[in-house]
Amino acid sequence: MSKTIVPTPPQKVVIADENQEVLGNIILSEITWDENNIMGNVSDKITGKPVEGVCVKVCDQDYGPIAFNFSDIDGNFSIEGNFPPSVRIIAAKSGYGVVSSEALPTEGIRKKALNLELVPAPNYGTVLFGSVKDGQQTPLGGIKITIYRSHSLNPYDFTFTNEEGMFVIDNLEPGAYRIAIQAQNFNERVINVEIGKDLPVVTLETVYLKKKVLKGTIHGVITDKNNVPVSNALVVLLNGNNNPIQTTYTNDEGVYVFYRLDPGTYSIIAK
């Protein structure tokens, strides 16, 4: 039977012994459509069963939202609003792919029930969500996030945090993982996480990175009086008390380097 036909009011019939009652003719009447109402039904395309709790939205041609509602236990929905001449319909529910229509003439869909079919979404695995900040609660963008299987040295996947310090990694199978959080000016953090079965999203606690205590470097070139670089020249680094703390030798171009130096005053002698 068409969904546009309204059920008739009930009519009582009493049958007594050896008597028969004849019920009068029943006349079916069509539903009276509200010009500001869009109705329909949502079902599972695979099973054909109605789907409850589907968010159905009516939008304009540019996907600007107008009104929305949810399907009931029988998959039926009704949306009221002031609709433009042309609208788009969007339907979504967790576990299903999103349905979005082309631009439809409002006049046509007001006069009939919309039948929407949802297709179960593929299983893309678990999504891991996290955020990274410094000790002053400032979000850190551009931080590299690398995830490994717990006992593997080969990266499983990697990504970077956005400007708000947030990152997302998807398509994770159940199991144990190791997450390395690395940045040039911060100490590396390693976090272990267990991904359980049937978990669509795992949210990590905020990760706080500690700024590295950066060490200084000193480099230079040793030459003779003719400005010719001297190779294999001994270079000694002295601290503020003129005590030697590092030694090195120049390369073929007369270059030397000292590194991992704490803030302070240094002197250099060469031979």
Query: What tens digit of pLDDT does each residue of 82-111 get?
Result: 889 999 999 999 889 999 999 989 887 777
Give the pLDDT band (50/70/90) at residue 235. Answer: very high
Query: What tens digit of pLDDT does each residue of 155-184 get?
Result: 999 999 999 999 999 989 999 999 999 998
Give the per-residue pLDDT at 51.
Answer: 94
What number does CATH give the domain 5-118? 2.60.40.1120
Average pLDDT over residues 121-141: 91
Distance, CA of 42 to CA of 53 (rounded, Å): 10
- What percent of the chain has a predicted confidence (pLDDT) above 90? 61
Q: Report the predicted TM-score, pTM, of the whole model to 2 decimal places.
A: 0.54
Sequence ranges of the domains in the chain: 5-118, 126-209, 216-270
Give the per-residue pLDDT at 154.
Answer: 94
Give the per-residue pLDDT at 199.
Answer: 81
Query: What tens digit of pLDDT does each residue of 55-87 get?
Result: 999 999 999 999 999 999 999 999 988 889 999
- What percent of the chain has a predicted confidence (pLDDT) above 70? 86
Whether 264 shows a pLDDT value over 90: the answer reads no
Give the pLDDT band (50/70/90) at residue 1. Answer: very low
Average pLDDT over residues 195-199: 84
Three-state secondary structure along the chain?
CCCCEECCCCCCCCCCCCCCCCCCCCCCEECCCCCCEEEEEEEECCCCCECCCCEEEEECCCCCEEEEEECCCCCEEEEECCCCCEEEEEEECCCECCEECCCEEHHHHHCCCEEEEECECCCCCEEEEEEEEECCCCECCCCEEEEEECCCCCEEEEEECCCCCEEEEEEECCEEEEEEEEECCEEEEEEEEEECCCCCEEECCCEEECECCCCEEEEEECECCCCCECCCCEEEEECCCCCEEEEEECCCCCEEEEEEECCCCCEEEEC
Average pLDDT over residues 231-245: 91
Give the per-residue pLDDT at 3.
Answer: 47
CA angle in degrees (0–180, nearest 5) for 258-264-266: 50
Whether 126-209 and 5-118 are alike in CATH topology: the answer is yes
Average pLDDT over residues 29-48: 78
Tokens encoding 203? 């949210």
CA 78 to chain centre: 31
Q: What burial letters (b/e) apply to 30-63, b meaning 16+ CB within 10 Å?
A: eeeeeeeebbbbbbbeeeeebbeebbbbbbeeee
Give the per-residue pLDDT at 112.
Answer: 77
Give backbone dihedrals phi and psi of 158, rounded to 5 degrees, phi first.
Answer: -150, 160
Whether 17 shows a pLDDT value over 80: the answer reads no
Give the pLDDT band (50/70/90) at residue 124. Answer: confident
Give the per-residue pLDDT at 125.
Answer: 85
Average pLDDT over residues 200-206: 92
Record: fold of 216-270? Immunoglobulin-like (2.60.40)
Whether 20 shows a pLDDT value over 70: the answer reads no
**Which class would CATH give 126-209?**
mainly beta
Give the pLDDT band (50/70/90) at residue 260. Answer: confident
